[in-house]
């Protein structure tokens, strides 16, 4: 007889007689029951893992509740240039900080509990679109004659894009193009001033709305939706006879860093890549947003893995990130991305800029000159 461990009683061992070999064929009719048993055992394992996570959350809740009401008052002065910090925290501000910490922890835990109990993920919360029936672009800088609105098929839906062409007198033909991948909210109308800045750099510009944004049909709910739209945009740009297909630059702002890096790493060799206020990964975004060291896979189905893709692009890279960006902190996102990227690469830390004010904080003309010099020098 062989001894087998009883899984229901971890410390108990039972002796099970070995099955005679000549009876083995008679067990064929049990195959279905064995499959059902394995399925039930897998379900129990998953439930057990879920309960372990919930117990972990409970323990973290206990820690959150014990956040001290009054944190110590302290002051630190660093004499190094650009590194001075003075913190004098009163009891009231300390209490506020403690309450904020508890609230943030509670919010993160609530989100995780919701995901665990419902089986849903938060991928769709990465997208905050606004819709329009038709676009109303200002012609104060870019004349109407230079603007073409196009529709493209993408994943069974129709997405809208806008192509801004430089004057025919432009000395460079065919034209270099910047593909602009916008952020996770609003639509092309909201980002129109930024698109105009890039056109003022002297290049053709193509920008597009993701599914469910602007006049585009469908819904953007997953990372794959972004990939489909990025592929459709690139296919259109490369199909134009007036485009220099060896001189395509991808510009990704915030969420737009995902399709920008995907295009450069997976779809073609880009001339250059520009990232503004982009995040490192979905997991880093979850952790910096909830103040919890939660694996991103528990909250997001897609990886949104910019830090993995940036290591695979072998082209010139320019990164712009505001030092006052509290939504996508440069320390947790911009700097790790920059560290992972290959040369040639440049990281511009824009002092005082928050998540959406990099161009205006730098000064619009300074921003235009910087982008122009980078693209032409790449």
The pLDDT tens digits for 102-154 are 544 555 554 555 444 444 444 455 788 999 999 999 999 999 999 999 999 99
DSSP codes of every residue in 175-206 = EEEEEEE--SEE-HHHHHHHHHHHHTTTSEEE
Write out pLDDT tens, residues 136-150: 999 999 999 999 999
Report the interhelical angle of 91-118 vs 282-290 (nearest 10°). 130
Measure the CA dihedral 253/257/260/264, to 10°.
140
Domain hosting 282: range is: 128-377
- Total of domains in the chain: 1
CATH number reported for the structural domain that contains residue 268 in this entry = 3.40.50.1820
Residue 297 lies in a domain: yes
- The pLDDT assigned to 43 comes to 56
Q: Show the CA angle centred on residue 231, arms to residues 136 and 250, nearest 5°.
A: 70
DSSP state of 8: T
pLDDT in tens, 214-223: 999 999 878 8
**Residue 365 resides in a domain:** yes
Question: Which pTM does this prediction carry?
Answer: 0.68
Q: Is 305 a domain residue?
A: yes
Q: What is the pLDDT at residue 275?
A: 98
Cα 220 from chain centroid? 13
Domain membership flag for residue 304 = yes
The separation between CA 351 and the C-alpha centre of its own chain, rounded to angstroms, equals 23
Q: Which of 245, 238, 253, 197 is nearest to 372 (CA)?
A: 197
Q: Quick one: tokens of 65?
A: 């509740």
Q: Is residue 87 part of a domain?
A: no
Tokens of 187: 């639509």
Would 173 be classed as within a structural domain?
Answer: yes
- Over the chain (378 residues), the average pLDDT of each successive run of 10 is 43 46 46 54 56 54 44 38 37 42 50 45 67 95 96 98 86 88 95 98 98 95 92 98 96 96 97 96 66 42 80 96 94 95 97 97 98 95
Does residue 290 form part of some domain? Answer: yes
Q: What tokens appear for 23 in the block?
A: 């009876």
Assess if residue 114 is contained within a domain: no
**Is residue 366 within a helix (H) or strand (E), and if so which, with residue range?**
helix 364-377
Distance between CA 229 and CA 216 in Å, rounded?
A: 10
């Amino acid at each position: 007889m062989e001894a087998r461990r009883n899984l229901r009683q971890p410390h108990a061992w039972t002796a099970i007689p070995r099955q005679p070999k000549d009876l083995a064929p008679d067990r064929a009719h049990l195959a279905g029951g064995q499959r059902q048993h394995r399925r039930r055992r897998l379900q129990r394992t998953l439930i057990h893992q879920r309960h372990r996570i919930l117990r972990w959350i409970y323990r973290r809740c206990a820690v959150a509740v014990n956040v001290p009401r009054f944190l110590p008052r302290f002051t630190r002065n660093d004499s190094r240039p650009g590194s001075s910090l003075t913190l004098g925290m009163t009891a009231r501000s300390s209490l506020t900080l403690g309450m904020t910490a508890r609230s943030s922890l509670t919010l993160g835990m609530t989100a995780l509990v919701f995901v665990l109990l419902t089986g849903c993920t938060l991928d769709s919360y990465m997208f905050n679109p606004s819709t329009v029936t038709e676009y109303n672009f200002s012609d104060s800088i870019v004349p109407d004659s230079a603007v073409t609105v196009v529709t493209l098929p993408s994943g069974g839906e129709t997405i809208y894009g806008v192509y801004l062409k430089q004057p025919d007198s432009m000395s460079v033909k065919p034209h270099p193009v910047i593909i602009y991948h916008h952020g996770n909210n609003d639509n092309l109308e909201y980002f129109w001033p930024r698109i105009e800045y890039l056109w003022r750099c002297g290049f053709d510009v193509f920008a597009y709305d993701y599914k469910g944004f602007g006049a585009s049909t469908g819904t953007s709910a997953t990372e794959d939706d972004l990939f489909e739209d990025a592929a459709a945009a690139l296919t259109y740009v490369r199909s134009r006879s007036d485009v220099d297909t060896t001189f395509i630059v991808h510009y990704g702002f915030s969420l737009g860093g995902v399709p920008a890096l995907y295009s450069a790493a997976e779809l073609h060799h880009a001339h250059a890549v520009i990232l503004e206020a982009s995040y490192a990964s979905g997991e880093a975004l979850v952790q910096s947003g909830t103040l919890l060291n939660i694996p991103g896979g528990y909250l997001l189905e897609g990886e949104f893995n910019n830090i993995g893709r940036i290591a695979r692009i072998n082209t010139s890279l320019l990164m712009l990130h505001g030092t006052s960006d509290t939504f996508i902190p440069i320390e947790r996102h911009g700097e790790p991305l920059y560290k992972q990227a290959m040369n040639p690469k440049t990281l511009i830390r824009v002092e005082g800029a928050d998540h959406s004010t990099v161009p205006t904080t730098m000064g619009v003309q300074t921003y235009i000159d910087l982008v122009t010099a980078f693209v032409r020098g790449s």
